[in-house]
Every structure is written in structure tokens, then in C-alpha cells.
Amino acid sequence: MKSFMCAVFISLCATGALAVENQKTICRSGNQERIIEVIYTSEGKVPCEVHYTKAGGTEVLWHAQNLEGYCEEKATALIAKHRAWGWTCEAAIEFVLEEAE
């Protein structure tokens, strides 16, 4: 398994692709669903945005240009509020492949 993962990593580096890891949490209550995402808009931890999706659409609730950890902190607090309200929240990891310039 380690050999396979190393091969995948090496092939991604060789093709010039860069994996950017966003954070996505899906909260559910009954038939309702809310998605809380930390989106990294560059290669680093900043700039970033916190997106909140519900039936009415998606909003950007917070964003940071220079302060690392800000978006993660805000997203974590919002997830904690949902759990306190009785929602069940599960984290998921998404990988977005972008071509390196």
C-alpha cells in the first residue's frame, strides 16, 4: 500500500499537478443538510474562505487574507454550534487537482 501511495504522489509531482486539500463537513438533521467548507484559494493556508451551503444556496461567511488558522477556527465553531443544536456532522476530505504553471 505504501508503494502505491508513493507512486501516486510521485506521478502527481511528475505531471506538474498539485493537490490542494480543502476541508468539508456535512451536517444533517432529519432531511435537512448543511455543508461547511474551508476553501483555500491559493497553495497555502491563506487566503481562505468559509462557505456555508443550505437549500437556499451558498454564502461566504468568513475569509482571511493573511491570518492562518482563522478560517479553520470559524468553521470549527460553526460545526460545534450545529452539533449543539442536535445536528450530526461528518468531516470529509476533498482533493482538487490543479495544473502547476
**Close Cβ partners of 72 (under 8 Å, ≥ 6 residues apart):** 23, 38, 48
Ordered by start, the domain boundaries in the chain are 18-99
| pLDDT score for 95 | 55
pLDDT tens track of the chain, all 101 residues?
A: 444 333 333 443 443 445 448 999 999 999 999 999 999 988 888 999 999 999 989 999 999 999 999 999 999 999 999 999 999 999 985 555 555 55
pLDDT at 56: 87
Instruction: Kindly report the pTM of this predicted structure.
Output: 0.71
